[in-house]
């Protein structure tokens, strides 16, 4: 026998199931008004500094079918690369929102402020990015991913640099489709499978 460690093990994850919206986006589920303030509607308020952008996309399964029930949570820095609560962060940027796929088409849409580069602990910078957490029926543990931007300098990003198969980096880059508009499709499985992280 050895001494007992005083650490605990994380509670196991379970799928969010098909009705995740009841708990996370009640208005979407048909429970509008149950809370006075529904959270996660937007990452920023009017007057936030930086460029307002719109990202649209879909989440597809291994058969190419678009999920109608996916919920994506996003977390990002403000235009100067600071997260909400950090010193000097833009008080008009919460940086966090929930995005639900459209129940008919499966398209999702995120209107947000384009984030700035984020400093790493111990030096270096991460290119502008939005962290994603994707849950749905059939996803047993929420999937971590990231959105980077086609029109930013991604070459020195330390996270992207860790992806050995360089063509896979492309799955994390939002494509510019117009002024302030981007496209970002997520593929859960199979050809063009999106990079998911464990970090």
Partner 1 sequence: MTATRDLGPLIPRNRDAHPPAYDPDYKTSVFRSPHLPLISMESTPSEETGPRFGHARLGPLDNNLILNWTKGAAPAVGERILMHGRVLDENARPVPDTLIEIWQANAGGRYRHIKDTYFAPLDPNFGGCGRTITDENGCYEFLTIRPGAYPWPNRGNEWRPMHVHVSVFGHSFGQRLITQMYFEGDPLIARCPIANTVKDRGQLDRLVAPLDLGRARPMDFLAYKFDIVLRGRRQTMFENKLEGM
Segment 105 to 164, residues that bind Fe ion, using CB under 5 A: none
In the complex with partner 1, the residue whose CB is nearer, 42 or 179, is 42
Question: How far, in Å, CA of 60 to CA of 36, rounded?
Answer: 34
Q: 167 Cβ partners below 8 Å, 6+ apart?
A: none
Which does residue 66 touch among partner 1, Fe ion, none (CB within 5 to 8 A, set by kind)? none
When binding is defined by CB under 8 A, the residue of 55, 110, 143, 173 that contacts partner 1 is 143
Cα–Cα distance between 114 and 181 in angstroms, integer?
Answer: 11
40 binds Fe ion (CB under 5 A): no
Taken in order 119, 123, 125, 129, the sign of the CA dihedral is negative
Which residues, 144 to 183, sit near partner 1 by CB under 8 A? 144, 146, 158-159, 162-163
Q: Which of 41, 105, 177, 189 binds partner 1 (CB under 8 A)?
A: 189
Q: Which of 53, 72, 84, 147 binds partner 1 (CB under 8 A)?
A: 84
Q: What are phi and psi of 193, to 5 degrees?
A: -55, 130
Q: Which of residues 22-61 bind partner 1 (CB under 8 A)?
A: 22-24, 26, 29-31, 34-37, 39, 61
Nearest-CA neighbor of 146 among 171, 166, 121, 164? Answer: 171
Query: Does the protein bind partner 1 through residue 104 (CB under 8 A)?
Result: no
Which of 1, 2, 3, 8 touches partner 1 by CB under 8 A? 8
End-to-end CA distance of the chain: 32
Residue 112 interacting partner from Fe ion, partner 1, none (CB closer than 5 to 8 Å by kind):
none
Residue 75 interacts with, from partner 1, Fe ion, none (CB under 5-8 Å by kind):
partner 1
DSSP label at residue 115: P
Distance separating alpha carbons of residues 155 and 125, to the nearest angstrom: 11
The single residue listed with the structure tokens 């996309």 is 57
Q: Which residues contact Fe ion (rule: CB under 5 A)? A: 17
């Amino acid at each position: 026998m050895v001494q007992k460690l005083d650490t605990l093990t994380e509670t196991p994850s379970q799928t969010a199931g098909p009705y995740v919206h009841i708990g996370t986006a009640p208005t979407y589920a048909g429970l509008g008004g149950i809370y006075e303030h529904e959270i996660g509607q937007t990452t920023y308020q009017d007057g936030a500094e930086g460029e307002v952008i719109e990202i649209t996309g879909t989440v597809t399964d291994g058969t190419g079918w678009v999920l109608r029930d996916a919920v994506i949570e996003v977390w990002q820095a403000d235009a100067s690369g600071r997260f909400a609560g950090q010193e000097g962060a833009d008080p008009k940027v919460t940086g966090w929102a929930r995005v639900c796929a459209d129940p008919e088409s499966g398209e999702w849409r995120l209107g947000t402020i384009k984030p700035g580069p984020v400093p790493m602990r111990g030096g270096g910078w991460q290119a502008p990015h939005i962290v994603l957490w994707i849950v749905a029926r059939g996803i047993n543990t929420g999937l971590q991913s990231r959105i980077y931007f086609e029109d930013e300098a991604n070459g020195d990003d330390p996270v992207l640099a860790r992806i050995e198969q360089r063509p896979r980096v492309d799955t994390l880059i939002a494509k510019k489709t117009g002024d302030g508009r981007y496209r970002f499709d997520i593929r859960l499985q199979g050809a063009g499978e999106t990079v998911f992280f464990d970090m």
